[in-house]
Chain A
Amino acid sequence: GQNIDQPTEMTATEGAIVQINCTYQTSGFNGLFWYQQHAGEAPTFLSYNVLDGLEEKGRFSSFLSRSKGYSYLLLKELQMKDSASYLCAVKDSNYQLIWGAGTKLIIKP
């Protein structure tokens, strides 16, 4: 079966750095996505990786290792508004998005 694992919840301090990990097992791979979702709102796109390596976009970076079935989202200079759930999703061989359960990130002052 297809499976995406990420931690349920993480806590970090304002101004610090946090890394959210995601491991996946899917039938085929056509890219890995990270989305941010605030409670009661739809997910918003953060990043996309299809080749191995690090993609940097401002305070957010995303890393992918296809051989290990592993990705992480790195958030720097954390702000209180970064408190949200972060969803990892993989497009499989049918280009269908398979979603992880999401990681709830709690930022403390």
Chain B
Amino acid sequence: GAVVSQHPSRVICKSGTSVKIECRSLDFQATTMFWYRQFPKQSLMLMATSNEGSKATYEQGVEKDKFLINHASLTLSTLTVTSAHPEDSSFYICSAPGAGVTEAFFGQGTRLTVV
């Protein structure tokens, strides 16, 4: 199946700093990438959809100035958490949609801890 690589897997940062998370499609081109956030014992919550060559689409309640998404190429999408706060600590996962009715392909996830 298709492979999506997400980096870093874990990151600890200080409050007020910014963190960039990368998501790469290794063996296919992803024009769309979904970014999810998952708090402990909760399900995946879609934050935004990144589209190659255009602006990302953010879900209601997600601050677009805080969670910057860039999809500069067909194989790379990035999520930057700006001015991080402890409440931003969470598990962030990217996913490339399968075509039509096929499964989604997930990155390994990034555990962000803001101290």
Q: Is the interface of B mostly helix, strand, loop or mixed?
A: loop
| A41-B109, A42-B107, A95-B100 as given contacts; A101 in contact with B43, CB under 8 Å | yes
Chain B: interface residue count, which band?
20 to 34
- How many A-B residue pairs lie within 8 Å, measured between CB atoms? 45
Tell me the nearest residue of chain A to B93, going by C-beta.
A42
Partner-binding segment picked from A16-24, A43-51, A59-67: A43-51
CA distance A104 to B103 in the complex (A): 21
Q: Is B44 in contact with chain A by the CB < 8 A criterion? A: yes
29 A-B pairs within 8 Å (CB atoms) are namely A30-B100, A30-B101, A31-B101, A33-B103, A33-B104, A40-B91, A40-B109, A42-B6, A42-B93, A42-B108, A42-B109, A43-B44, A43-B93, A45-B1, A45-B103, A48-B102, A48-B103, A50-B101, A87-B43, A95-B100, A95-B101, A97-B34, A97-B97, A99-B46, A101-B42, A101-B43, A102-B42, A102-B43, A104-B41
